[in-house]
Structure 1
Amino acid sequence: MSTTLTGAPVSPGRAAGVVVTMPAPVPEPPLATVAETDVDAAVERVRAATAAVQESLLALAAGATGTAADVLSVTAAMAADPTLASDAERRVRAGSRTAERAVWEAADALAAQLETLGPPLSERARDVRDVRDRVVAELTGVRPPGVPAPGHPFVLVADDLAPADTATLDPAVVVGIVTSGGGPTSHTAILARTLGIPAVVAVQGAADIVEGETVVLDGGAGTVLRDPSDDEVRAARDAVRVERVFDGHGRTSDGHRVELLANVADPEAAQAAVAANAEGVGLFRTEFCFLGRDTEPSVAEQVAAYRGVLAAFGGKKVVVRTLDAGADKPLPFVTADDEPNPALGVRGLRTAVRHPEVLDRQLQAIAEAAAAESADVSVMAPMVATVPETVAFVDACERLGLSRAGVMVEVPAAALRSRSIFARATFGSIGTNDLTQYAMAADRMLGDLAPLSTSWQPAVLELVRATCDGAAAHGRPVGVCGEAAADAVLAPVLVGLGVRSLSMTPRALADVAAVLARVSFVRCRELAHLALEQPTADAARTAVRGALAEVLEELSL
């Protein structure tokens, strides 16, 4: 008898396959000590092992692109974190711990501290434990953490996946992902969408799925079918995702224009966006040239880095986001390391209060890169919450000739005061990941909170509508650049709420375009109203999927 498990749908598509579960974690080293004469050697082993792990992660990052490269770079930086290494060395010297035991205890202490700080910094606890396991494996000579390689395609089932593991998945081998943890905007969800792997997270009962059984999963509906019939397996395998091609012109069935743009993090990701016929870039993350450094990159370095992306989009729109440092992306030259709650601390545009020179130099670099290329460049600031912040940022941009200066709406305060904010900001872009977690007070990494951590929440949709209404009063356009933009079912709802552009992983462009092309603008507004009427996120998603049933069936979504 088949059993259906449900979870959060995070990456569309159907898949069937034999289950392979993640191997047991690296075992905890025994509580042991070293002789006083061996302390220096143990400290040196800690340093060598952390350096080796950092080098291996950087090598993986060098072979990756876009979001995967960014995630691997951040994990590599975590391996080199002096907080972790120095605490491990202290435990060796003060407590005569063995190298592997000292690393284990230091990492657990750091992870526990991060978990008390709330999202997004609490999400880094998973990274710390991943680094811990890799370093301990290096020290003890056991197999390091990683995805199994059974020699055949499979559905991967896990409690959750470390970002470094998800970033290296091969879609030709891992045909589906099922996790009991995580949420709709977790690293696993974001990377699965980027890779095009069907995935369902926060699945109740996933821990009971055993190695070797066959399951069928539907990443669009959020279901996992255990003990499926032969016909159900065959149907899932036959439902190969159609490789649709986006023609480069987003629009509804009655011709209402919706710009379909790409999120990019580096020049290689920009090339992938060009190949997918993106109309431009709705979110250019500039952190790639800042991460992993102890000092700020020079203006010349930044200009060269930005031109690599702008050159790929000659004559097209590119929205550059200024440095989004802080919280889970600490940078020693702009952020403090002793904030009691970094998630609600100095991050994004707020770092410019103490370090205005860093923002000024970045804006100078953006202006120089824009002047050297033919892309249609706009600039926006992250984590804007007030009108004075908006005014200060727009003024700083205008002084350097950057006339199109906008804001990211990630804080509910900005959505609620959007009419005043857009009196100065020339456009807005809604970051639905942060907006959702701040509105719902929900850690996006916790599977127990997955029902809250979704942009389908009616309260979040109300904030999107409020933002669009406030911008419309001044004739300003609003887009969405969070993960919600990649949800082909949610896309017409966002358009119906007043959103005029959607920016996403390039892989999602064709599906989003296909759905919009089959729905009129009037129908989009009806779907938005339908979603807002629902009492819960699940009810909103179910109601809209039901209303779009014929379209979704036609497109196999």
Structure 2
Amino acid sequence: MELFESAAVHRGVSGTRGWVVAPIRGLDAPVPQGRYILVAEDLTPADTAALDLALVAGFCTASGGPTSHTVQVAHGLGIPAVVAASAGILALPPGTVCALDGDGGLLYAGLARADLHAAIRRGHEQAEQNRLRHQAALAGGPTPGGVTLSTTLVKPAQAAELAGSAASGIGLLATELLFLGREHEITDEDAHYLRRPDELLIAQLRALYRAAAAGARLRIMFPMVTTVEEFTRAAVLAQGIRGEM
């Protein structure tokens, strides 16, 4: 027997933990009043980082995977997510009230009134369970086997939250996402950087090595490298900046 008999169940894969009850909205549909569950074929990491968390309570995608960069960003932001739920979710009418089960990788679509109340109660119960798990992690000290827990940092403001988390540091900082949410248009100086990408990379490398000089343990990953020459060029730049610091 399904958890909610009135609902159609769309089975996907767990992306980020959490339980949300809200109407759904597609990328091109009118924005409903209140918070909603975003439904899409897929989301890029930049799309995910730019989501308005005051409106988007969670998301469900037809494709994608649980180890994708998009899911890592969602985890860093604390957005419940289900991925790889198939194209059936894209046919759901906008405004359909759904329950998104990020833990189980399920989307319950079309909740009747009786099931809606039960879904909301379940959300409160799951939130309390997650809170208790979080407290236990904070009180538990080092993990067995000396495993170090790190977190994904998407926005600079999240750095202050590290002190109250079980993470001992930042596992992934995608510096390209820091350019999102700019309040001004691209200037001539910005365009200069876009025309000369080495200079943009150098600025980021200098910031990283300054953090390392202050005591941070640093590992740098060059994303979206397609040739050996690209990697070699980036490595040479990194070594040069490191030698200057």
Scaled by the length of structure 1, the TM-score of the pair is 0.33
C-alpha contact (below 8 Å) 1:19/1:156 kept by paired residues: yes
Between Structure 1 and Structure 2, the one with more strand by share is 2
Cα shift readout 1:146-200 (whole Å, capped 9, x = no counterpart): xx53231112222223444322223342222122122223444233222212111
Q: SS of the counterpart of 1:262?
A: strand
Residue 273 of structure 1, aligned match among 162, 170, 194: 162
C-alpha contact (below 8 Å) 2:73/2:152 kept by paired residues: no
Partner of 1:295: 198
Q: SS of the counterpart of 1:233?
A: helix
Q: Is the counterpart of residue 307 in structure 1 residue 210 in structure 2?
A: yes
Report the CA distance shift for 1:310/1:172 in structure 2 as closer, same or farther (over 3 A): farther
Residue 228 of structure 1, aligned match among 83, 108, 111: 111
C-alpha contact (below 8 Å) 2:62/2:85 kept by paired residues: yes
1:307 alignment partner AA: R
1:70-469 to structure 2, matched below 5 A, reads 148-204=30-86, 205-238=88-121, 239-240=123-124, 241-242=127-128, 243=131, 244-245=134-135, 246-247=137-138, 249-252=141-144, 256-264=145-153, 270-276=159-165, 278-283=167-172, 293-296=196-199, 302-308=205-211, 311=214, 318-327=216-225, 342=226, 345-346=227-228, 351-352=231-232, 357-364=236-243, 368=245
Q: Is the counterpart of residue 6 in structure 1 residue 6 in structure 2?
A: no
Report the CA distance shift for 1:270/1:212 in structure 2 as closer, same or farther (over 3 A): closer
Q: Which runs of 5+ in 2 are unaligned?
A: 1-5, 179-192
How far 1:283 moved relative to its partner?
A: 4.6
Q: SS of the counterpart of 1:247?
A: helix
Q: SS of the counterpart of 1:150?
A: coil
How far 1:346 moved relative to its partner?
A: 2.2
Report the CA distance shift for 1:236/1:308 in structure 2 as closer, same or farther (over 3 A): farther
C-alpha contact (below 8 Å) 2:45/2:70 kept by paired residues: yes
How far 1:6 moved relative to its partner?
A: 0.3
Q: Distance in 2 between matches of 1:274 and 1:307?
A: 21
C-alpha contact (below 8 Å) 1:216/1:232 kept by paired residues: no
Q: Distance in 2 between matches of 1:2 and 1:19?
A: 14
1:227 alignment partner AA: G
C-alpha contact (below 8 Å) 1:285/1:321 kept by paired residues: no
Report the CA distance shift for 1:310/1:221 in structure 2 as closer, same or farther (over 3 A): farther
Cα shift readout 1:103-159 (whole Å, capped 9, x = no counterpart): xxxxxxxxxxxxxxxxxxxxxxxxxxxxxxxxxxxxxxxxxxxxx532311122222
Report the CA distance shift for 1:212/1:305 in structure 2 as closer, same or farther (over 3 A): same
Residue 22 of structure 1, aligned match among 9, 21, 27: 27
Greater CA drift, 209-218 or 225-234? 225-234
The root-mean-square deviation of aligned C-alpha atoms, in Å, is 3.6
Report the CA distance shift for 1:193/1:231 in structure 2 as closer, same or farther (over 3 A): farther
Q: Distance in 2 between matches of 1:284 and 1:165?
A: 16
1:210 alignment partner AA: P
C-alpha contact (below 8 Å) 1:179/1:201 kept by paired residues: yes
Q: SS of the counterpart of 1:320?
A: coil
C-alpha contact (below 8 Å) 1:287/1:323 kept by paired residues: no
How far 1:23 moved relative to its partner?
A: 1.3
C-alpha contact (below 8 Å) 1:153/1:172 kept by paired residues: yes
Cα shift readout 1:249-270 (whole Å, capped 9, x = no counterpart): 3324xxx432212344786554
Report the CA distance shift for 1:174/1:282 in structure 2 as closer, same or farther (over 3 A): closer
1:6 alignment partner AA: R
Q: Distance in 1 between matches of 2:58 and 2:201?
A: 42
Cα shift readout 1:486-533 (whole Å, capped 9, x = no counterpart): xxxxxxxxxxxxxxxxxxxxxxxxxxxxxxxxxxxxxxxxxxxxxxxx
Q: Distance in 2 between matches of 1:203 and 1:180?
A: 5
C-alpha contact (below 8 Å) 1:286/1:320 kept by paired residues: no
C-alpha contact (below 8 Å) 1:11/1:219 kept by paired residues: yes
Structure with bigger RCO (C-alpha 8 Å, 6+ apart): 2
Q: Distance in 1 between matches of 2:155 and 2:116?
A: 39
C-alpha contact (below 8 Å) 2:222/2:234 kept by paired residues: no
Q: SS of the counterpart of 2:236?
A: helix
Aligned residues: percent identity? 31
How far 1:203 moved relative to its partner?
A: 1.1
Report the CA distance shift for 1:287/1:13 in structure 2 as closer, same or farther (over 3 A): closer
Between Structure 1 and Structure 2, the one with more helix by share is 1
C-alpha contact (below 8 Å) 1:267/1:308 kept by paired residues: no
Q: Which runs of 5+ in 1 are unaligned?
A: 25-147, 328-341, 369-557
Scaled by the length of structure 2, the TM-score of the pair is 0.68
1:261 alignment partner AA: S
Partner of 1:458: none
Q: Distance in 2 between matches of 1:273 and 1:13?
A: 20
How far 1:358 moved relative to its partner?
A: 1.7
1:492-531 to structure 2, matched below 5 A, reads none
